Chains A and B, each alone.
Chain A
Amino acid sequence: MAETVNAPVLPGPAIEPGTDARTSLESGYLVVCWNDPVNLMDYVTHVFQVVFAWPRAKAEFHMLQVHNLGKSVLVRDSLERAECYVHQLHKYSLHATLEHDSK
Chain B
Amino acid sequence: MKRIKAKPDRIVFQMAVVEKRLLEEALDLYPLIPAHYAKLNRSSDTPALREAQQLLDEALDEQRRENRRRLAAFLRDAHRFLPAPDGFLFTLNQPELEWLLAVLNDIRVGSWLRLGSPETASGDAIVRTPQTEPFIRAMDLSGYFLTVLLGTAL
A residues bordering B, Cβ < 8 Å? 36-40, 42-43, 46, 49-50, 56, 79, 83, 86-87, 90-93, 97-100
Contacts and interface: CB of A to CB of B under 8 A. Distances in A.
Contact of B109 (A56, A86, A93, A98): A93
5 contacts: A36-B117, A40-B143, A83-B40, A93-B110, A99-B44
The 4 closest A-B pairs by CB, nearest first: A38-B112, A38-B121, A90-B38, A93-B105
A85 B38 CA distance: 13
Interface stretch (B18-26, B75-83, B85-93, B146-154): B146-154
B59 A87 contact: yes
Interface of B: 33, 38-44, 48, 52, 55-56, 59-60, 63, 98, 101-102, 105-106, 108-110, 112, 117-121, 139, 143, 146-147, 150, 153-154
B105 A39 contact: yes
Nearest to B111: A38
Contact of B146 (A43, A79, A91): A43
Contacts of B98: 50
A100 B105 CA distance: 28
Given A40-B146, A92-B105, A93-B105, A46 B153 contact: yes
Contacts of A50: 98, 154
A99 B41 contact: yes
A99 B110 CA distance: 25
Contacts of B102: 91-93
Nearest to B67: A91
Contacts of A97: 39-42
Contacts of A79: 48, 52
A80 B146 CA distance: 31
A93 B33 contact: yes
Nearest to B38: A90
Nearest to B49: A98
Nearest to B108: A38
A99 B45 CA distance: 11
B56 A90 contact: yes
B109 A99 contact: no
A98 to B, nearest CB: 6
